Structure 1
């Protein structure tokens, strides 16, 4: 089966101040998302995952590389982008910031229909989207304002605003990060139900590997502008190969191993280190394991290839598949 969305050789750089090298926010990424598939894009803040997601939405034009949707390259002409954004919708982290406090729920959900000039009965479409998002009976919410809703209800309104256009793919950026723990499970269950009932695909951007375990079919772990490990959720989270993935998993409450405390902060994306970009913080290198395997020099000096975005792979000289 051909993927629904494909990113190939994606690079995104931003100019730096005072003559510094440009920041390589996305530094070579291949990624596939299949029809009806949920992919979790995981990593620390600042690793480039939100910039990558915005590029897949057509909000940031890549410096090089391409995005393909439904077998056709993404065009950046205004008319083509408008049509594309009907098929690919964004769900943001903070529902309070996503909703205009002066608009009713009805107007918030109907906004996309009005922008795209959708035919058909608007009231029926809005009611159907709210019901699919779990707000029933939908008419009871039409005239409410965001401040009259709970956090979970506001996030459902945001999701309904995406669903009303009947997209094929949703990009959800930290969709439950601002919600109480009791509500997170409901929203994740909703996304899974939409996948099962509508065949909806989703890219879920998150720093939480526990969330990925509960919702994703596949996981892509990102560090300093590149995907460093990919695989099914069971493969990556049950037997992580990359030291960075191992460190992220070690701090989960249910982890069977002691927490791995990474030294320092992620490097500046305008000064990506040579060799493995994780080597300055790598516990495998620091422990002497890489040296015993005769690979310490390679870790520090030899770059790793871009992962192809599918199958099981890790960009690590010691434990991966270079």
Structure 2
């Protein structure tokens, strides 16, 4: 089959209870010089109230584009983003109200903060845009919740006067100042020293427990996913290829791509070295989109299971949004 025929879709209705934020059959395409890149190519994903979901995958797999689309920063080519059961509207007033509920925490706190603004000004920016009352009280409360106590010590400091962990806490405080329901955290600890990462992850878990916050954590680090997430969704070339409860997916991965990602962890008994780079999203291969790099296919195990031809030529259904463990893999289906 040609790539233009890849339209088979499973039922996208989520089975996650108390769904708060949802992607339904989401597609995001970019066109340049006549070439169409399918950055997000049919994703169903749900985030429940008070739940942390880790979205993992290599650079270029589409996870940041998916996160930006869930934030309303990109418009889907087709499919929809739903919040609180309602489709996201893209008018300026609707987006402003939505972004008070769903806040972004960026990877690089140094780049996120204006070096000419004090901590107070940085945290107060959102409340001012939304014309919230009692600005000083809101800022102090947000800093305290982000672990910068007493907040008075930090109000007049500039970013260069803070440590990396303190800067990341200021960024988190800026999001918390709007009392959001959801945080979308893009590689929230990637730029931090190892000694500080645990503190920031512990803070996010505390915010979930104390405030009922939900979080979508975008990361390439499966170790981070293990430490913080309730569920994990593994993304490859614009699609979720495996998802489920973090313990099930990371202790018994079914998709060869997830197995390869996990093999780089220190405790892994066997290292899987993937050949080549992820394919160009303007030229997604037919069959299983991972088959050109798949160690199961290359080793002959897929042939032994009688699915090698299917891996190369038969399209896989798009995974539904589900709380259950699932994988889009012919070999996993054949071997149980």
Equivalent residue for 1:261?
273
Q: 1:271-282 residue pairs with structure 2 within 5 A? A: 271-282=283-294
Equivalent residue for 1:6?
22
Structure 1 stretches lacking a partner, 5+ long: none
The CA distance in 2 between the partners of 1:210 and 1:155, in whole Å, is 20
Equivalent residue for 2:46?
32
Equivalent residue of 1:205, what SS?
A: strand
Answering whether residue 265 of structure 2 is matched by residue 252 of structure 1, we say yes
Equivalent residue for 1:117?
131
Answering whether residue 103 of structure 2 is matched by residue 94 of structure 1, we say no
Equivalent residue for 1:54?
68
The CA distance in 1 between the partners of 2:18 and 2:167, in whole Å, is 35
Q: 1:187-206 residue pairs with structure 2 within 5 A? A: 187-206=200-219
Q: Deviations over 1:210-253 (max 9, x none)?
A: 00000000000000000000000000000000000000000101
Equivalent residue for 2:299?
287
Equivalent residue of 1:318, what SS?
A: helix
Aligned pairs, how many? Answer: 318
TM-score by length of 1: 0.98
Answering whether residue 223 of structure 2 is matched by residue 207 of structure 1, we say no
Equivalent residue for 1:144?
157
Q: Deviations over 1:184-228 (max 9, x none)?
A: 000000000000000000000000000000000000000000000
TM-score by length of 2: 0.94
The CA distance in 1 between the partners of 2:128 and 2:333, in whole Å, is 49
Q: Is the 8 A contact 1:219 1:230 kept in 2?
A: yes
The CA distance in 2 between the partners of 1:171 and 1:87, in whole Å, is 11
| Structure 1 outlier segments of 4+, above 6 Å | none
The CA distance in 2 between the partners of 1:279 and 1:229, in whole Å, is 15
Q: 1:103-252 residue pairs with structure 2 within 5 A? A: 103-119=117-133, 121-252=134-265
Equivalent residue of 1:165, what SS?
A: coil
Cα RMSD, aligned residues only: 1.0
Structure 2 stretches lacking a partner, 5+ long: 1-16
Q: Deviations over 1:13-63 (max 9, x none)?
A: 00032x33x000000000000000000000000000000000000000000
Answering whether residue 331 of structure 2 is matched by residue 318 of structure 1, we say yes
Shift of 1:320: 4.0
